[in-house]
Structure 1
Amino acid sequence: MQVEETPLKDCFLVKPRIFEDHRGIFLETYHRERFAELTGIDTEFVQDNQSVSSFGVLRGMHYQKGEFAQTKLVRVIYGKVLDVVVDLRPDSPTFKKTYKAILDDKNLHQIYIPKGFGHGFLTLSEKSVFAYKCDDYYKPGSEGGIIFNDPDLKIDWDFPTKEMILSDKDRKQPTFKEAFG
């Protein structure tokens, strides 16, 4: 496993070691002790989630707040997505800054997203299977969101907005200013 710092504090790009031969591939998607050794962060994940999306589906920008905020380790099992995170921690030196990366079933990269971050992704392949580990259980009352095209965050999705497929909930998310003042 190779772990690279992103420009955002406490957020990491995780590159697994891939073993390939005539039968296919094998990789270790997570190793708690090794991750802690490389980052100094020891995270105990308690819930795994998975979604399936078609081309153009944008899910986000979502976050959990308060005592039920979640750290996540996200990856693509099948397909290709543009993954975007934003630091929403007011005391962080990278507050309101974003990071984006292509995650797909070829590079098998993952993003470690700490508590206090917003997250979203856009499916760039015909279909994507997206999986993530969480360090706390989902509690509906703790969820929050910011509109994907927020004028303050200026996220470049590099995709035509009129071709994006969003849930009604994601279309009606508040702006950053509405959510954080």
Structure 2
Amino acid sequence: MLTTPEIFSPSAENEVAPGIHSTKIQGLLYIQYKKFIDNRGFFSDITGFKNLEKVIGKRMDIKQINFASSHTNVIRGLHSEGWNKLVTVFSGKAFSALVDIRPESPTFKAIEYFMFDTDENSDLGTSLYIPMGISNSVCAIEGPVSYHYAVDAFYDERDVSGDKALSVFDPELNLQWPIPREQMIISDRDKESITLQEMLSQ
């Protein structure tokens, strides 16, 4: 039987700047952006860099924008990379599990769950600011799920020591996924990913 995890909810208590919310993982930020809707559709600034840079205390210089699309039941993750990134889901319904795998972090091993439902009639959209060292995933509940992630390093210039792949089935973390294991579509690389304990012992 699937267990429903506690999904992050933005509130006045966790709002650290207009439209930006802290989470239980240090440095991981949930961002809400305003959508200006009319009879043509909508327009929005999805970055909010002015407020974001005040919160993170540095410039967010985008070097590369990557785009991905996933069919229903696809899970990409859990990955951490040698860059900071801003993730925005544009279509479909997606679930995301994130884990702090930074041993020096005060929130080491903390887990946070998010749900992204791209309703065009909603006046708010959402993004995640994910710092280097946080293992992240995108799980497509209703595909196609299309999303992009803007990163602050070129792929061939990133800090490769930050590239790590964590098993979505790590028994210690016991992550709660919204689809049964036998229905998951996962890459060969992700199927062979190691546990957090194995990662720490390397």
Same fold (TM over 0.5): yes
Partner of 1:122: 139
Q: Gaps spanning 5+ residues in structure 2: where?
A: 1-17
How far 1:43 moved relative to its partner?
A: 1.9
Contact between 1:85 and 1:113, CA under 8 Å: does it hold in 2? no
1:60 aligns with 2:77: yes
Contact between 1:75 and 1:103, CA under 8 Å: does it hold in 2? no
Equivalents in 2 of 1:38, 1:126: separation in Å?
33
Equivalents in 2 of 1:44, 1:85: separation in Å?
23
Q: Cα gap change, 1:174/1:38 in structure 2, threshold over 3 Å: closer, same or farther?
A: closer
Equivalents in 1 of 2:118, 2:167: separation in Å?
27
Q: Which amino acid aligns with 2:74?
A: V
User: Which structure 1 residue ranges, 4+ long, deviate > 6 Å from structure 2?
Assistant: none
Partner of 1:105: 118
Residue of 169, 173, 185 corresponding to 1:165? 185
Partner of 2:103: 90
Q: What root-mean-square deviation, in Å, do the aligned CA atoms of Structure 1 and Structure 2 show?
A: 1.7
TM-score (norm 2): 0.82
Partner of 1:147: 167
Contact between 2:85 and 2:149, CA under 8 Å: does it hold in 1? yes
Equivalents in 1 of 2:58, 2:116: separation in Å?
22
Equivalents in 2 of 1:50, 1:108: separation in Å?
17
Partner of 1:25: 42
Please say which of residues 119-128 and 130-139 is displaced more in the overlay: 130-139
Partner of 1:177: 197
TM-score (norm 1): 0.91
Could you tell me the percent identity over the aligned residues? 28
Q: Gaps spanning 5+ residues in structure 1: where?
A: none
